[in-house]
A and B are shown apart, each in its own frame.
Chain A
Amino acid sequence: MTPPQQTSGQPLLPPTPAQTVGPFYGYALPFPGGPEAVPPGRPDAITVHGVVYDGSGAPIPDALLEFWQADPDGTRSGAPGSLRRDPVTGGFLGRHPHVFTGFTRVATDADGGYAVHTLAPPSSAPYLAVAVFARGLLHHLYTRAYLPVDGAADDALLGRLAPERRATLLAVPGPDRTYRFDVRLQGENETVFLEHA
Chain B
Amino acid sequence: MGDPTQELISKEIAEARDGYAAARAGGAPEGHHPDRGYLPYRSSALRHPHNPLERVADPDAVELSGPVFGVTDVTDWDADLTAQHVGEPLGERITVTGQVLDRAGRPVRGQLVEIWQANASGRYAHQRDRHPAPLDPNFTGAGRCLTDDEGRYTFTTVKPGAYPWRNHVNAWRPAHIHFSLFGAAFTQRLVTQMYFPGDPLFAYDPILQSVTDDAARQRLVAAYDHDLSVPEFSLGYRWDIVLDGPTATWIEEGRA
Contacts and interface: CB of A to CB of B under 8 A. Distances in A.
Interface residues of A, number: 80
Given A15-B243, A16-B219, A55 B46 contact: yes
Contacts of B104: 6, 12-13
B120 interface: no
Contacts of A138: 33-36, 38, 41, 44, 48, 207, 210
Contacts, number: 258
Given A20-B207, A186-B46, A81 B256 contact: no
B46 A136 contact: yes
Contacts of A3: 29-30
B77 to A, nearest CB: 6
B32 interface: yes
B128 A23 contact: yes
A17 B46 contact: no
Interface string A115-149: 00000010011010101011111111110000000
A131 B219 CA distance: 23
B227 interface: no
A185 B220 CA distance: 26
A124 B78 CA distance: 38
Contacts of A133: 191
B66 interface: yes
Contact of B55 (A56, A134, A197): A197
Contacts of B187: 142, 196
B82 interface: no
B67 A24 contact: no
Task: State the majority secondary structure of interface residues on A.
Answer: loop
Contacts of A13: 101-105, 242
Interface in B15-37: 29-30, 32-36
B1 interface: no
A76 to B, nearest CB: 4
Given A14-B216, A141-B49, A196-B245, 6 more contacts: A7-B254, A13-B101, A68-B186, A85-B73, A90-B78, A136-B45
Interface of A: 1-7, 12-29, 54-56, 58, 60, 66, 68-70, 76-85, 87, 90, 101-103, 121, 124-125, 127, 129, 131, 133-142, 156-157, 161, 165, 185-187, 190-197
Interface of B: 29-30, 32-36, 38, 41, 43-51, 53-58, 60-75, 77-78, 101-105, 112, 114-116, 118, 124-126, 128-129, 140-142, 144, 178, 180, 186-187, 189-193, 207-208, 210-211, 215-217, 219-220, 241-246, 253-256
